[in-house]
A = this chain, B = another copy of it.
Amino acid sequence: MKHSEELLRSHGIKVTPQRLTIVDELYGRIHLSIDELYMAIKEKFPSISLATVYKNINAMMEKRFIKEVKIPNQKSRYELIKEPHSHVVCQKCGKVEDVHIDLSTVAKEAMEKSRYHINEDALIFTGVCPECAS
């Protein structure tokens, strides 16, 4: 069984061609905004409606297998949930990439200083990517 189909099935959400395309797209490009997603899907699936994309993104977020990445000065993007990681975003070209950094130490410090019981973190670094730097 295809990876994307398995993902939908295991989260108790109906497997439709539209949804498979959305998930496949997210496997391939990792971070996509609603309209990037919509346009990308329209190529493979011209009849899809924007409302369907919205409905599915919301459904998948409720089922907790994709999540929204809120990026400074950009539209939100969506990604499949995998192991915890942070993001770097290029302020020149807008590119977004994953970066794996252990945040347990800072999370511990945040708990001590804030007295909150922390269970998630979202860290986004803004800077200039190697391509734009050269």
Interface residues in chain A, defined as those with a beta carbon under 8 Å from any beta carbon in chain B: 68, 70-72, 86, 88, 90, 97, 99-101, 103, 106-107, 109-111, 113-130, 133
Contact = CB atoms under 8 A, between A and B. Distances in A.
Quick one: copies of this chain in the complex?
A: 2
B122 A126 contact: yes
A90 B111 CA distance: 12
Contacts of A111: 127
A74 to B, nearest CB: 10
A133 B117 contact: yes
Nearest to A121: B125
Given A72-B70, A127-B117, A110 B122 contact: no
Nearest to A124: B122
